[in-house]
Amino acid sequence: MIARFRPTVVQACALALVACVCAIVALPAVAEDGTVKLAAQPGPVLVTGWDDAPQYPTTAAPLYQVVQAMPMEEQWIAPPDAAASHGVADVHVAEPVWGAPVITESCPPDVWFWQVLPDGLIYHSYWAGVREPRLGILAFDERGSQSFWDGTLGGRVGLLRYGTGASIFPQGWQLDVEAAAIVRLTLDEIRDFESADYRVGVPLTYGIDNWQFKFAVYHLSSHLGDEFAIANPGSLADRINYVRDAIVLGASYYPVPIMRLYSEAAYAVNIDGGAKPWEFQFGTEISQPGPTGLQGTPFIAINGHLREEHDFGGDINTQAGWLWRGQSGQVVRAGVQYYNGKSSQYQIFDNSEQQIGFGLWYDY
């Protein structure tokens, strides 16, 4: 039986060997420096997404034009010297089986186009706003009381943008989503969990020139910590169900590159636990604009927050220190904070606090 099928098996093995050899020969060659050398194919084409006219004053050839295809016999894809000098373009090399590689130039900064999960934000969170979505930790001493940790675990990302492709100062429309848990722990050997405020929101933002605008909805609820409830029997009977479901309108303006001014108004359509509909925020931020590099730059931030449940009193928060800004506008800050007014935790929103502390913050 085996002898009968032996010729067929031998032929199949021979065909498989030939196919493997052909596949190996067709693979791109890899040079010692790690670059890939392709077989002869049609040359790369520089594709224009707009017209062929120069987008900026220049003495060189236009940036956006169709380049004559070149032979590929001895051409290397992304050699080290060429890759280093190609600083004004995003290079996308298609796999050889899908046809000639296509190289596309970056969009001019004034062109608006659709972007999914865009890089950067149009309307940034307020640095001195204590209920903004961020990653942060603040160790502070409350005058007349004890010391606490206030930690924030949150974030904010862009989902969809119709606007420019800039990361730090984009223009256009953008839809974001944000969420944060703002918790308070005692600053002692026990680290009791005292309370937590939870916030989730969906901002729609718009940026034009030096202006940014925000329309948002958010939900906020406050909760008593379980360790506090255990340490204080009967406290659950006194806990409040502080809730806000609010609509927000905000505006931000840069009169000069180093300074930001902002204000916003929010009206809660659903409230509970002593909350009232209206609240207002306003403030300023001062720092060197743009990416800072390793050396960083100093900053100052001030935020005022007025609430209807306090007859439009509230709190003021001041921060100063050092920051580092990345290529996408994200900011890491370290500095001191002075907070004075009604509590930053809504579970005890009617208490007055005076805080002096040191914080680390990662802001979006």
- The CA distance from 364 to 7, in Å, is 69
| One domain, residues 269 and 196 | yes
**72-86, 114-128, 196-210, 216-230, range with the lowest pLDDT:** 72-86
pLDDT band at 119 (very low <50, low <70, confident <90, very high): very high
Give the amino acid at 268.
A
| One domain, residues 261 and 137 | yes
| One domain, residues 160 and 305 | yes
- Write down which residue in 55, 79, 105 finishes a domain: 105
**Closest to 291 (Cα-Cα) out of 260, 321, 328:** 328
**Closest to 82 (Cα-Cα) out of 91, 74, 73:** 91
- The CA distance from 282 to 305, in Å, is 7
**Strand locations in 38-119 (E):** 45-47, 76-77, 89-90, 102-105, 113-116
- The CA distance from 120 to 261, in Å, is 19
Range(s) of the domain holding residue 95:
2-105
Scored b (16 or more CB within 10 A) or e, 195-230 reads: bbbebbbebbbbbeeeebbbebebbbbbbbbeebbe
Tally of CB atoms within 10 A around 35? 16
Domain count, the chain: 2
Look at residue 67 in the predicted model and tell me its pLDDT.
38
pLDDT tens for 258-304 read 999 999 999 999 999 999 999 999 999 999 999 999 999 999 999 99
| One domain, residues 354 and 208 | yes
The CA-atom distances, in angstroms, between 140 and each of 147, 187, 345 are: 6, 8, 14
Look at residue 15 in the predicted model and tell me its pLDDT.
52
- The CA distance from 103 to 100, in Å, is 10
Higher pLDDT, 193 or 229: 193
| One domain, residues 195 and 216 | yes
Look at residue 77 in the predicted model and tell me its pLDDT.
34
- The CA distance from 349 to 357, in Å, is 20
- The DSSP line for 245-264 is EEEEEEEEEEEETTEEEEEE
| One domain, residues 174 and 92 | no
- The CA distance from 193 to 61, in Å, is 64
Which helix (H) or strand (E) element contains residue 243? strand 243-256
| One domain, residues 48 and 196 | no
- Write down which residue in 45, 80, 105 finishes a domain: 105
pLDDT band at 190 (very low <50, low <70, confident <90, very high): confident
Please give the average per-residue pLDDT across 52-74, as a whole number.
40
Residue 16 region by backbone torsions, left for phi larger than 0, else alpha for psi between -120 and 50, else beta: alpha
Scored b (16 or more CB within 10 A) or e, 56-74 reads: eeeeeeebbeeeeeeebee
Highest average pLDDT, of 56-70, 85-99, 134-148, comes from 134-148
Which helix (H) or strand (E) element contains residue 14? helix 2-26
| One domain, residues 93 and 224 | no
- The CA distance from 300 to 337, in Å, is 10
Look at residue 92 in the predicted model and tell me its pLDDT.
41
| One domain, residues 163 and 15 | no
Instruction: State the chain's mean pLDDT as an integer.
Output: 78
| One domain, residues 257 and 202 | yes
- The CA distance from 362 to 161, in Å, is 23
pLDDT band at 69 (very low <50, low <70, confident <90, very high): very low
The CA-atom distances, in angstroms, between 335 and each of 209, 317, 350 are: 30, 13, 27
| One domain, residues 214 and 74 | no
113-116 and 134-142 strand pairing: unpaired
Question: The domain spanning residue 234 has which CATH number?
Answer: 2.40.230.10
- Write down which residue in 45, 77, 105 finishes a domain: 105
| One domain, residues 91 and 238 | no
Which helix (H) or strand (E) element contains residue 29? strand 29-30
Give the amino acid at 150.
D
Flag whether pLDDT at 314 surpasses 90. Answer: yes
Token readout for 146 is: 């004890």
Which residues sit opposite 355 in a β-bridge? 142, 339
Asked if 188 contacts 170 with a C-beta cutoff of 8 angstroms, the reply is no
**27-36, 125-134, 328-337, range with the lowest pLDDT:** 27-36
